[in-house]
Amino acid sequence: MKIRSTLTLIAITCGIAIDLVQYSIPAQAQVPAPMSKKEQARYTSFATAGIKLIKPDGFDPAESFDGFQQTSTQSSVMAITLPGPFSKVTSGFNATQLKARGITLKSSENISIDGSKGILINLTQTAYGIEFSKWIVAFGNEQETKMVTATFPKNRSAKLSPILKSVVLTAKHDTTPPPALGSNLGFKIIPSPKVKLTRVIAKALMYTKDGSIPAKSPEDPLFIVARSFSEVEIGDKKEFSTRRISQQNSIKVNSVISTDRIVIDGLDGYEIIAEAKDTASDTPITIYQTMLFDKKSYILIQGIVGTNILDQYLPEFKAMARSFTQQK
């Protein structure tokens, strides 16, 4: 349970689920030679993530996450920093566990990234009826893990795979001072005094009880606000919202107890409350979720808290969700 927040954000930002279990990684792999001065000049800084990358040709800076995107091919490169030890986060790339979630681990190699221990992995995963390939580089220390994920349709692998593999391997630590937390996201939330803004991961706001990660108890509140990273064709919005609340890491959803239509800041959506349990401790958990829809994108607002203190936090979660405003 203490890693619930980290796993939730990995799922939101990378579209994969990681279980922190021991995984044996193959021997050391070769890494690219140092970049030339010309190549160094191509680096783009992502100060919020603490990562800098060389932009692939034909890609544009992304608006809803730190990284690059190519909308014509549904491809992207995303940079994030996770509040979890490198040793534990990387042990979660387990072939058996990933396969159970419909994800195939194709390869895994130890590497060195900008003087830090790292790992390079290749995955395939089907989403929205399309099979995607992913190149992921993770590197860091026992305090945090930096991750760069390149995603592209598998049927475009011949062209994009070598390019995007090279791009993730250009990752370096970025010491540029980051912007103030939550200042460059395109939306705002009025926080409850009962939770504190902990950090921004992949342009997603994250609030916890005392402003720290990991949670000290399975009952401690976690509140997240995130915009979808790419356009999504959504047919039945109610069904989409219900399916999303069931896609939890380290939490088993038992039943949805209410589903209501809602309008916030001119956006239609659904407000859902579900009963669940923390799988590690069997602690009863309640999930509050609001999904708002804006053309082909959506905003996910989700609060998770122990059921026995739900009365203290559910009104706060609802008030925070209703305070959501887009910044034009």
Same domain, 282 and 319: yes
**Mean pLDDT, residues 20-26 taken together:** 28
Block residue for tokens 């349709």: 153
DSSP state, residue 28: B
Q: What is the pLDDT of residue 113?
A: 93
Q: Which domain holds residue 163?
A: 4-173
3-state secondary structure of 131: strand
Indicate the residue among 119, 151, 173 that finishes a domain. Answer: 173
Residue 49 DSSP SS3? coil
Span of 84-93, 107-116, 159-168, 251-260 with lowest mean pLDDT: 84-93
Q: Let me know whether 165 and 204 are in one domain.
A: no
Residues 141 and 219 in one domain: no
Q: What is the CA radius of gyration of the chain?
A: 19
Are 160 and 194 members of one domain? no
pLDDT at residue 210 in the model: 83
| Residues with Cβ within 8 Å of residue 246, at least 6 apart in sequence | 253, 274
Residue 179 resides in a domain: no
Q: How far apart are CA 187 and CA 266, in angstroms?
A: 13
- Do 16 and 165 sit in the same domain of this protein? yes
Q: What is the pLDDT of residues 98-127, one digit of tens each?
A: 787 788 999 999 999 998 999 999 999 987
How many angstroms separate the CA atoms of 63 and 81, rounded? Answer: 18
Is 277 found in the same domain as 318?
yes
Shared domain for 112 and 243, answered yes or no, is: no
Average pLDDT for the chain: 82
4, two tokens: 């619930």
Domain count, the chain: 2
pLDDT (tens digit per residue) in 281-299: 899 999 999 999 987 788 9
Q: Whole-prediction pTM value?
A: 0.70
Task: Check whether residue 149 and residue 259 sit in a common domain.
Answer: no
The CATH code of the domain that includes 87 is: 3.40.1000.10
pLDDT tens string 193-203: 999 888 666 66
Q: CA–CA separation, 102 vs 84, rounded Å? A: 24
Say whether both 319 and 195 belong to one domain.
yes
Boundary (domain end) residue, out of 173, 208, 233: 173
Domain membership of residue 252 (yes or no) is yes
Q: Does any domain span residue 54?
A: yes
Strands 204-208 and 187-188: unpaired
Regarding whether 196 and 167 lie in a shared domain, the answer is no
* 169 and 199 belong to one structural domain: no
- Residues 166, 309, single domain; the answer is no
